[in-house]
Structure 1
């Protein structure tokens, strides 16, 4: 069974800092790109490859910040090891690599790391598939701290390895590692690696947590193999727990929150939408669809009451968030039909309903997404087969496969 995850980013000297992609799913973690200088003819322009570099395997995405691109990989020789790699985003020159030894053992689909590097305040935060968490100086790769969450905190490695990307919140870095005794998420001091709190009863899944604000109160939403959970991001205290036990524990795609409604969707048991209440302790089920709306790895997009989400059977679908009414399906034209289909979706020009996606074949596709229809605008091959999330920065895209990291100028 093929299942896994994505994330990471990259940035160049010629790209303004506001155009960085410093974390999983972009600057705000919500899949929005929206470059300022997008030309009208962007979809027809042939991308120009700027550089390519050989790297090791992995499912983790790319991130960019301050003229640098970051990605994780795995080496099998001379010793088995995971690495955080940093490249000059302008010319692809490797600037540094930070390495630690690992033993994947019998980990299923043990190709390489699954998560993305998170860049914040001059530091790079990463989590490897076996639970090693690191904080590095983003410009030099020198370690600030490094900790084995399995050995130190009792984290339990899930079947396909740790996949959730680190989340920065104030002075804390949040890790979804399923630590022993109510440690679904553990918060570490981002400067020292010392534990601040742990919270949530679920073991580790594969979904990156997210912080939302509902009714004036911040909530940390985390999805594990048995429950959807809301925690207090300052203390780890549980606000509420809603049951959602998943076959094989494959809680992967990031939930979507809008206007008091929280969408969670999985491969085996479909979509659920929860209504959050007037207080942080209230939640109720609004609707669910176990057969026709089954996401897997791909995080959905949202606009004007409509969700655009990749279904395991029907391809990309549009449906109403409030009701679950399906508006259209793309019949697997945007990414190949597969047992485990994948695409990475971002808003390219949200105001005009234009999205960009990197499909599992390594094609960058520009598409208009509207409640009534979808229209493909352009398609360009930029890399080989991949499940990893690309980074979009300025007028460039950075993508990775199991063999290489590439940078393309799009206009």
Structure 2
């Protein structure tokens, strides 16, 4: 749940889009879309980072890190049509020995004319989305006792009513809720330290639950108070709780690199429905879901399809859609969900159109639009905005 605010179809205001589920579904897709080569509209030099791109009300947002003349993290805002930089806001950082210490990991969240950002070392900021003026800024490590995980804070801010939710592992609180207008603490809850997974709000049996996957538990919290509803143990090697869980039909699915997938049946608590510790192992890539089928990138087999209720694997692409790697990655979205059409940006920076069905997949087109990247693009209208460690660029798709 993002807000009662109405966003346009051309907006991608937070991590994984309007509903944080990888839904793009633009209007006016031409019948021959796969024949139309993307056209680059503009490109801007930026610093390094893994954080995704967001786009809202004609502006594009991204975070980066510069190491000279001094080490800083920045929030950058560009005009969506021209690529002109409208503003930037920075703060001093020291990554020290942070593993994969390239740059920020999270996406900027936009709502009610404000931009919310969380840096890799725990600085959280609320900025005026049009001007970049600071509304509030707080170091969650110094102020709330947040503890930086091995690979830095990676979860994007989640807006819920009057609160912004940060997965930072503050003392006695896996998730920290701040007043979105003042930055003051509202609540903190959950037993785990910080993981790398952006929390999400689901509705189960008529009640809203905040799902926060940490390095030791899958946690369900009351989003209004932070009270713990239930926890399910899932202790992960190196604490790599990354890929976003999905919830459908009373089932919550989590999947990790080292210990595989677990499907939890939700009631008053969570019980194990099935698990697969060797053949369904996600890492960073958030899955898609349609009609009972999950489409998810496995660490060794590439993109694969399996039944949510049973875990039965239907097919895998054998690493044809994204390069095989010890840390595989692709960003998946529904391009036209009703027709089972998806788009993905793979780790080589290729935009791939693909048909995803229970009986198999079919690649429709492939275009090189950027260099190697793990960062999630923003799909807005007939545009895609992509970044890597050197540039942010805009492409018209048809």
TM-score interval (norm. to shorter): over 0.9
Which residues in structure 2 correspond to 1:254-269 (within 5 Å)?
Answer: 254-269=244-259
SS in 1 for 2:28: coil
Residue 224 (structure 1) aligns with = 214
Alpha-carbon distance, 1:283 to partner: 1.4
Following the alignment from structure 1 to structure 2, what is the Cα–Cα distance between the partners of residues 270 and 44?
Answer: 38
Alpha-carbon distance, 1:171 to partner: 0.2
Following the alignment from structure 1 to structure 2, what is the Cα–Cα distance between the partners of residues 77 and 373?
Answer: 49
Alpha-carbon distance, 1:17 to partner: 2.6
Alpha-carbon distance, 1:18 to partner: 2.7
Which residues in structure 2 correspond to 1:258-407 (within 5 Å)?
Answer: 258-277=248-267, 281-407=268-394
- Output one character per residue of 1:353-380: Cα deviation in whole Å (capped at 9) or x when no partner: 0000000000000000000010000000
Alpha-carbon distance, 1:19 to partner: 1.9
Of 82, 89, 103, the match for 2:73: 82
- TM-score using structure 2 length: 0.98
Following the alignment from structure 1 to structure 2, what is the Cα–Cα distance between the partners of residues 185 and 153?
Answer: 11
Given that 2:190 and 2:228 are in contact with CA atoms closer than 8 Å, whether structure 1 keeps it comes out as: yes
Following the alignment from structure 1 to structure 2, what is the Cα–Cα distance between the partners of residues 361 and 334?
Answer: 10
Gaps of 5+ in 1: 1-15
Following the alignment from structure 1 to structure 2, what is the Cα–Cα distance between the partners of residues 47 and 19?
Answer: 17
Do structure 1's residue 157 and structure 2's residue 148 form an aligned pair? yes
Following the alignment from structure 1 to structure 2, what is the Cα–Cα distance between the partners of residues 110 and 293?
Answer: 28
Of 174, 181, 196, the match for 1:206: 196
SS in 1 for 2:69: coil
Following the alignment from structure 1 to structure 2, what is the Cα–Cα distance between the partners of residues 258 and 172?
Answer: 25
- Output one character per residue of 1:274-299: Cα deviation in whole Å (capped at 9) or x when no partner: 0001xxx3211000000000000000
Following the alignment from structure 1 to structure 2, what is the Cα–Cα distance between the partners of residues 294 and 17?
Answer: 35
What RMSD in Å do the two structures reach over aligned CA positions?
0.6
Following the alignment from structure 1 to structure 2, what is the Cα–Cα distance between the partners of residues 79 and 117?
Answer: 23
SS in 2 for 1:17: coil
Following the alignment from structure 1 to structure 2, what is the Cα–Cα distance between the partners of residues 220 and 43?
Answer: 38
- TM-score using structure 1 length: 0.95
Residue 97 (structure 2) aligns with = 106
Following the alignment from structure 1 to structure 2, what is the Cα–Cα distance between the partners of residues 217 and 43?
Answer: 42
- Output one character per residue of 1:218-240: Cα deviation in whole Å (capped at 9) or x when no partner: 00000000000000000000000
Which residues in structure 2 correspond to 1:129-148 (within 5 Å)?
Answer: 129-148=120-139
SS in 1 for 2:127: strand
Following the alignment from structure 1 to structure 2, what is the Cα–Cα distance between the partners of residues 301 and 283?
Answer: 22
Which residues in structure 2 correspond to 1:187-202 (within 5 Å)?
Answer: 187-202=177-192
SS in 1 for 2:64: strand
Do structure 1's residue 51 and structure 2's residue 42 form an aligned pair? yes
Do structure 1's residue 116 and structure 2's residue 107 form an aligned pair? yes
Do structure 1's residue 238 and structure 2's residue 228 form an aligned pair? yes
Following the alignment from structure 1 to structure 2, what is the Cα–Cα distance between the partners of residues 67 and 332?
Answer: 36
SS in 2 for 1:366: strand
Gaps of 5+ in 2: 1-6
Residue 56 (structure 2) aligns with = 65
Following the alignment from structure 1 to structure 2, what is the Cα–Cα distance between the partners of residues 294 and 107?
Answer: 25
Following the alignment from structure 1 to structure 2, what is the Cα–Cα distance between the partners of residues 324 and 86?
Answer: 42
